[in-house]
Amino acid sequence: MILKWIVKILKAINSNKMPTEVAAGIAMGFLLALMPVKNLFWISIFIITFFLKINISMQIVTIAILKTFIFILDPVINKIGLFLLNIKFLEPIFNFLYNMPLMPFTNYNNSIIMGSFIFGIILWYPVYKLSFKGVIKYRTGVRDKIIQSKLYKSFIKLPIIKTIINLGSKTQKYFSKIK
């Protein structure tokens, strides 16, 4: 399972995709990883991402990795959500939203959901910028150093890895002929 994630991350970073698409995938994955899954709000945002020009596989891998330990931020997220939900001048807006069709199913009035959404929105751009810079740095320098390393060269020589690489290239040739 972890090996699949690593392969997907490396494929996304090494692909011909624009660094902006990979960074946006990471940032959207971060936003969605912060939020609890079982509500209409999360599902709506997740579906919307399929219509955006982002790297979906990077988004899904980011969600999977971050979901495992994001609960550590729950106390902070809960405080942010409680603070926002208890602002008096926002009460009429929350009441209006609650009386709209489908809005109660978003659970926006849950402190964890509200806090995680706002926290994620605030941190979305910094995560995007850091991811963008990381992808650029990896592609311009780190990737070549890894390929030249003795560890990488010995890893590639392993029989199982050779088999996987050969299968991948044969599959790619097969599907390129079909097109």
pLDDT digits (tens, 9 = 90+) for 149-169: 787 777 777 777 667 666 655
Q: How many domains does the chain have?
A: 2
Of 2, 5, 27, nearest in space to 127 by CA = 27
Confidence at residue 125, expressed as pLDDT on a 0 to 100 scale? 97
Confidence at residue 13, expressed as pLDDT on a 0 to 100 scale? 67
Confidence at residue 28, expressed as pLDDT on a 0 to 100 scale? 95
82 and 170 together in one domain:
no
162 and 100 together in one domain:
no
45 and 113 together in one domain:
yes
Which residue positions in the chain have pLDDT lower than 50?
A: none
Domain hosting 12: range is 2-144
33 and 83 together in one domain:
yes
Determine if the pTM surpasses 0.85: no
Asked if 39 and 113 touch (Cβ cutoff 8 Å), the reply is yes
Confidence at residue 47, expressed as pLDDT on a 0 to 100 scale? 92
Distance, in Å, from the CA atom of 163 to the CA atom of 179, rounded to the nearest integer, reads 25
9 Cβ contact partners less than 8 Å away, ≥ 6 residues apart: 58, 61
Asked if 73 and 159 touch (Cβ cutoff 8 Å), the reply is no
Q: Tokens 């050969």 map to which residue?
A: 166
